[in-house]
Structure 1
Amino acid sequence: MISAFTKSFAQLPDPTFRKVIFLGVLGALVTFLLLFSAVTGFLFESVLVNIPWMDTAIDWLGSIATIAVVWLLFPAVASVIIGFLLEDIAEAVEKKHYPGLSLANSIPWGETLVEAIKFAGVMLLLNILALPIYLLFPAVNLLVFYSLNGYLISREYFELVGQRRVGVKKAKALRKAYQGRLLIAGALTAFLLTIPLVNLLAPVVGTAAMVHLFHRWRQEPKFLMLEQSS
């Protein structure tokens, strides 16, 4: 597990990785600038009484709310962006570390778009539903956040990586068989997504790590049996 993430971080200077990171950062910045403008604009229009201390309080509350929303939304936004570029990352990892592999199946662009939007919607909805836990239970909120997002991230990333090699049905079966270890990998990726600056690299690193885990586990007898029987 640690080796998969170490190799992924070590490959960050790769031109393909740099391109994906640049596009991901650009997309995230645009998204959050629009979000910040919308939130602040709404608060400005909502102020009916020109009371200095009230304006200051609303500004503070608006800033805190925006930061909280951005913190919750970043994994979803980053995952949507990375979903369009996942094949580029997977190909770069396989070219460097697994050069003897045959050409992988390409995922149709339309299917990628639908899956990315669906995944982002599910992630956003579940995090909104879990918001009371995040706010009211300080000792439990981190565990819930990393477990929930770790599960969603590991499920999405591993299935997208796996279906390039074994198809959708087998990729889902393999993901279920390894879901315990995948949860840890997903939680690590979710943790990286909450660290400032590092979160800009996390989707790329998480995707690359899933490629390494897929090919490592593919050599295990359990994996081979599932791959043949599915």
Structure 2
Amino acid sequence: MILNSILAALSQMSDPRFRSVLMRGVGLTLALLIGAYVLVFWLIQFLLPDSFTLPFIGEVSFVDELLSWGSVVLMMLLSVFLMVPVASAFTGLFLDDVADAVEARHYPALGPAPRVGLAEGIRESLGFLGVLIAANLVALVAYLVLAPFAPVIFYALNGFLLGREYFAMIAVRRLGRSEAKAAFRRHIGTIWIAGALMAVPLTVPIVNLMVPIIGVAAFTHLYHRLHATTR
């Protein structure tokens, strides 16, 4: 079911309506990623002195130059960590457009769903973004204590959070908030695995730019397939 949902999302890239949303989504994702990178870059420059002295090495004064020359590489490396919160921030901006394009092609008999609305979507996304950041800050302790298992913890934690957020925001369009929560509880295992599978390519530079759009499309299919099993 999960794999079929992902394949169905990928197959729609030939649809002009979906491709238009995809291109806008990639552009916005890149803009959000650059904004997050600029913030991290500024923090590094603010926190690190222009030069410092290391034992047995002496004065090190190339930090600024290294950051400047290595900006592109640094941005790609940071995208491994930054794309998870960027994907979460993305949900409220293009979710309706992506879900509408998927449903118009694959589930036309349902008719259009009530739109979440940009303001409400952004508010929901910001709230979830706070939860995501707080959860990962707490998980830093587990990453350090259980270092060999850090990737497993990272994908399991963020897979659960992303899966819950994407499924809930799609389900609420058709079911309402309380029923969407109940649907999540019924299918928590499947949604968790789908979220973890989404988190993996989010940590792959370049590929991760398309994941938020493809993820919304895949979760739209997953919602309808899961809902069909409970009717």
1:182-208 CA deviation, whole Å, 9 max, x = no partner? Answer: 000000111121122221111111111
Cα distance in structure 2, aligned partners of 1:19 and 1:5: 19
> Residues 134, 97 of structure 1: CA spacing in aligned structure 2 closer, same or farther, 3 A cutoff?
same
Choose which of 116, 119, 131 in structure 2 pairs with 1:107.
Answer: 116
Q: Indicate the residue corresponding to 2:24 in structure 1.
A: 23
Cα distance in structure 1, aligned partners of 2:76 and 2:141: 16
Cα distance in structure 1, aligned partners of 2:145 and 2:16: 44
8 Å Cα contact 2:80-2:204 kept in structure 1: no
Higher deviation after alignment, 128-137 or 185-194: 128-137
Query: How many angstroms does 1:87 deviate by?
Result: 0.8
Query: How many angstroms does 1:131 deviate by?
Result: 2.6
Query: How many angstroms does 1:47 deviate by?
Result: 2.4
Q: Indicate the residue corresponding to 2:61 in structure 1.
A: 55
Higher deviation after alignment, 72-81 or 135-144: 135-144
Q: Secondary structure at the match of 2:205?
A: coil
Letter in 2 for 1:149: N
Cα distance in structure 2, aligned partners of 1:103 and 1:36: 37
Q: Secondary structure at the match of 2:110?
A: coil
Q: Does residue 189 of the first structure (1) align with residue 190 of the second (2)?
A: no
TM-score (norm 1): 0.83
Cα distance in structure 1, aligned partners of 2:39 and 2:174: 42
Unpaired runs of 5+ residues, structure 1, are 225-230
Q: Indicate the residue corresponding to 2:227 in structure 1.
A: 218
Q: Indicate the residue corresponding to 2:6 in structure 1.
A: 5
Cα distance in structure 1, aligned partners of 2:140 and 2:50: 28
8 Å Cα contact 1:133-1:141 kept in structure 2: yes
Query: How many angstroms does 1:153 deviate by?
Result: 0.8
Q: Secondary structure at the match of 2:13?
A: coil
8 Å Cα contact 1:20-1:82 kept in structure 2: no
Query: How many angstroms does 1:210 deviate by?
Result: 1.2
8 Å Cα contact 1:24-1:78 kept in structure 2: no
> Residues 212, 30 of structure 1: CA spacing in aligned structure 2 closer, same or farther, 3 A cutoff?
closer
Choose which of 145, 165, 186 in structure 1 pairs with 2:154.
Answer: 145
Q: Does residue 178 of the first structure (1) align with residue 187 of the second (2)?
A: yes
Cα distance in structure 2, aligned partners of 1:103 and 1:35: 34
Higher deviation after alignment, 67-76 or 48-57: 48-57
Cα distance in structure 2, aligned partners of 1:55 and 1:8: 49
Query: How many angstroms does 1:50 deviate by?
Result: 7.4
Instruction: Flag the structure with more relative contact order, 1 or 2, with Cα contacts below 8 A and sequence separation at least 6.
Output: 2
Q: What root-mean-square deviation, in Å, do the aligned CA atoms of Structure 1 and Structure 2 show?
A: 2.8
Higher deviation after alignment, 28-37 or 150-159: 28-37
1:124-177 CA deviation, whole Å, 9 max, x = no partner? Answer: 222222234335534211111111111111111111111111111101110111
Cα distance in structure 2, aligned partners of 1:103 and 1:28: 26
> Residues 173, 196 of structure 1: CA spacing in aligned structure 2 closer, same or farther, 3 A cutoff?
same
Cα distance in structure 2, aligned partners of 1:212 and 1:85: 16
Higher deviation after alignment, 129-138 or 174-183: 129-138
Cα distance in structure 1, aligned partners of 2:36 and 2:59: 25
Q: Secondary structure at the match of 2:108?
A: coil
TM-score (norm 2): 0.82
Q: Secondary structure at the match of 1:219?
A: helix
Query: How many angstroms does 1:98 deviate by?
Result: 1.1
Q: How does 1:114-133 map to 2 (within 5 A)?
A: 114-133=123-142
> Residues 130, 11 of structure 1: CA spacing in aligned structure 2 closer, same or farther, 3 A cutoff?
same
